[in-house]
Amino acid sequence: MVNIIKSKVKINPLKKAYVHSLNLYAPQFLVKYYRDRYNKNKSKYHDLEKNLKGSRLPVTVQKYLAIAAFYPLILLPGFIIAGILIGGFFVDVLVKTGNLQLLSVNSPLTSPSFLSQNKILILKILFIIGFTSLFTFLTRLMILLYPKFYASQRKQKIEIVFPHVVNMMLGMAKGGTPIMKIFKVISEESNVTGEVGKEFGIIITKVEVFHKDLIKSIREVANTTPSELFSDFLDDMVSILEGSGKISEFLDFKSKHLMDEKEKFQSVFINSLGIMAEVYISILVVAPLFLIIIFVVMSMLGDFNQQLMMLVIYVYMPVGGIMFLFMISSMMEGYEVKWTEEKLKKFPLMARIVEEDDDGFQYQNTLHKRLNRVITRIKGVMADIGIFIYKPEYTAYLTIPASVISIPFIINWEIETILIYLMILNFIPFAILSELRKRRVSKIEDHIPDFLKQLASLNESGLNIVVAIRMLSSSNLGILTKEIIKIRKDLEWGMLLPHALKRFEVRVGSATVTQVTSILLRAMESTATVKDALFTAARDAQLYMRFKKNVKNEMFVYIVIIYMTFGVFVFTILILNRNFLQVLPSGTSVQGFSGPSFQMPDVEGLTRLFYHTSLINGLIGGLVAGVMGEGELKSGLKHAILLVFIAFVSFKLFG
């Protein structure tokens, strides 16, 4: 007897983007209150309604206003506690340091009678009320601004992938695919089409689920999408459909126009990255160095609070670096070298076969399941060493145990040295393997346009795709030839061409290959002659590769600048420490200076702060170099490790 234990229900991909719920509770009386306000003055909430539609959040304006009012009230006790802590801290600092006199010269707050316990309590209450109100206001403001922020993010994602989607539609249209089928394919290929696929999914849902007219559905999406570019495209498509025009000619025109626009945008984008690199150097390299020099001088004049320097080193530099990395990553989104995940659909069906009288079977508990999963993965890793290049993150299965084993031997080292050692041990193998994989992917991508053009030429001469691939398996396309041979072997063993191409896509894991295979597979579903789709895919891949090389060549200069500024930073810090501070005797007075205010700096403490500053600057600078130069945070690991190691060696030898 076969007992089915568990199965997963497959969700309709057309509804997945549209039937997306915002499961946040809001009291009905608040919803009713804001419904009345909305009905009285709809124009007041026009922007919020537009942003909610653009973000595709399935919630009404009335309920969202209720959410924005309800959750700050729910969090109010936490805000009060935070206000008590922060307000009490500020008042204590003002009282202890005597800085209350800074409020006003003739203020009654500066009189001794005011600094009694009762009036200090009043001041604390005022701070608590102020901070609590501020936190409540900011929370409500962030909730109200979230749809606008999310809609702007969707706009960026739509416009990034839109040229490729048009090429994908063009390949299917030239093969004779009906317009509704094209829309459905775009919505199903959400792993490639992204937010554009969600927009087309809404059109399909309106037509198939709500039985609306296609033209009307397209217009509704055009009026609510956050992207003006996509909205204009849909409006033009409506005109073509109403005028019984040829979709393939329209898409061909749009494809060429979008590629021209994308090439113009590339130069603007590269200039923007250059400006961001200069901002990084000014804010996170020059400014901290300037402040450190000022703090050292202030420490000698006796007017110095070491907490200010620590605030700059341990808060300003890391937080500023993280924010800058986030900004650059947002700009680079869609343009970086992505490694796609496995796209082959899995159908998990867990079943067991037991005898009818078998009462001794026991289900595995959660701990056993997780333990077996880890053991299975370790066995798989050890059975195929080549998997480390395909999945560099698997090196953690070796480096983390090695780190744990080595801890007893390094426990007596300085904490900074221990952290640097663990960083090198855990991240160098990952960085090296990631670099090897990226170079392999880049070599494959370089030959993709030539491969597609040759494939299109053979298809145009009358050969089908299978025969053309067999012929190209003996061509000279570098490392790509090995992958073509694998495709040919899959076909010889009886695998269908779509499955063989999917396996090729999974093996390479490249965004370019994913886009190419998506165009090719959908074109082959329409017709056996796919030369137009192949030429379109080749043009798309060639534009992407040219842009990637332009960014790499332009940003290489800024990577060199980051290295040079880091070298200047470390050199200046070392000169300041070795030739200026360490020649001054700590804790003694210096002859020749008049006045009791001159103080000798804490040389040992400042040296340690300088050391930490260099390490933090090297870490942040390396990550920024990776994101700006190569489009990935993981690519910055090798730069970060190298710069941190340079700082470590410099201070150990000359610090």
What mean pLDDT value characterizes the chain?
Answer: 78
Confidence of residue 646 (pLDDT cuts 50, 70, 90): very high
pLDDT in the model for residue 475: 82
Cα separations (Å) of 136 from 80, 133, 639? 10, 5, 42
Confidence of residue 341 (pLDDT cuts 50, 70, 90): very low
pLDDT in the model for residue 348: 43
Over residues 613-626, the mean pLDDT reads: 91
Domain boundaries, the chain: 20-153, 159-262
State residue 399 phi and psi, 5-degree precision. -75, -35
pLDDT in the model for residue 601: 63
pLDDT in the model for residue 578: 76
Instruction: Give the best-scoring range by mean pLDDT among 16-25, 171-180, 410-419.
Output: 410-419
Q: Is the pTM of this model over 0.85?
A: no
Confidence of residue 540 (pLDDT cuts 50, 70, 90): confident
Is there a contact between 359 and 530 (Cβ–Cβ < 8 Å)? no
pLDDT: which is higher, 270 or 50: 50
pLDDT of 235-250, one tens digit each? 999 999 888 788 888 8
Of 636, 633, 604, whose CA–CA distance to 618 is shortest? 636
pLDDT at 392 over 90: no
Cα separations (Å) of 13 from 20, 131, 201, 351? 12, 46, 8, 26
| Mean pLDDT lowest among 426-430, 576-580, 623-627 | 576-580
pLDDT in the model for residue 585: 56
Over residues 519-544, the mean pLDDT reads: 72
Half-sphere exposure of 109 (CA within 13 A, CB side): 16
| Mean pLDDT lowest among 157-161, 344-348, 481-485, 571-575 | 344-348
pLDDT at 526 over 70: no
pLDDT at 619 over 90: yes
pLDDT of 594-609, one tens digit each? 444 555 666 777 888 8
Q: How far is residue 641's CA from residue 655's CA, in Å, rounded to a whole number? A: 19
Over residues 253-267, the mean pLDDT reads: 79
pLDDT in the model for residue 648: 93
pLDDT of 272-312, one tens digit each? 877 888 888 888 888 888 888 888 777 766 655 677 788 88
Confidence of residue 420 (pLDDT cuts 50, 70, 90): very high
| Mean pLDDT lowest among 1-5, 136-140, 191-195, 599-603 | 1-5
pLDDT of 545-573, one tens digit each? 887 787 778 778 888 888 998 998 889 88
pLDDT: which is higher, 132 or 113: 132
Percentage, residues of the chain above pLDDT 70 = 80
Task: Give the 3-state secondary structure of residue 335.
Answer: coil
Percent of residues in the chain assigned helix, strand, coil, to nearest 5 = 75, 0, 20
Over residues 342-367, the mean pLDDT reads: 51
- Which residue type sits at 568? V
Confidence of residue 99 (pLDDT cuts 50, 70, 90): low
pLDDT of 504-515, one tens digit each? 888 887 777 887
Residues paired with residue 351 on neighbouring β-strands, in sequence order = 4
List of residues 6+ apart from 128 with CB closer than 8 A: 80, 83, 84, 87, 88
Cα separations (Å) of 497 from 476, 489, 500, 622? 22, 11, 5, 43
pLDDT: which is higher, 578 or 419: 419
Q: How far is residue 48's CA from residue 113's CA, in Å, rounded to a whole number? A: 51
pLDDT of 178-237, one tens digit each? 888 888 888 887 777 888 888 999 999 999 988 889 999 999 999 999 989 899 999 999
Over residues 401-409, the mean pLDDT reads: 90
Q: What angle do CA 352, 357, 360 make, to 5 degrees?
A: 65
pLDDT in the model for residue 584: 57
Residue 648 tokens, joined = 């470590």
- If phi over 0 gives left and psi between -120 and 50 gives alpha, with beta otherwise, what is residue 60? beta
- Which residue type sits at 70? F
259 class by beta-carbon count within 10 Å (0-12 exposed, 13-18 middle, 19+ buried): middle
pLDDT: which is higher, 101 or 77: 77
| Mean pLDDT lowest among 102-116, 361-375, 473-487 | 102-116
pLDDT at 94 over 80: no
Is there a contact between 583 and 287 (Cβ–Cβ < 8 Å)? no
pLDDT at 16 over 60: no
pLDDT in the model for residue 164: 80
pLDDT in the model for residue 200: 92
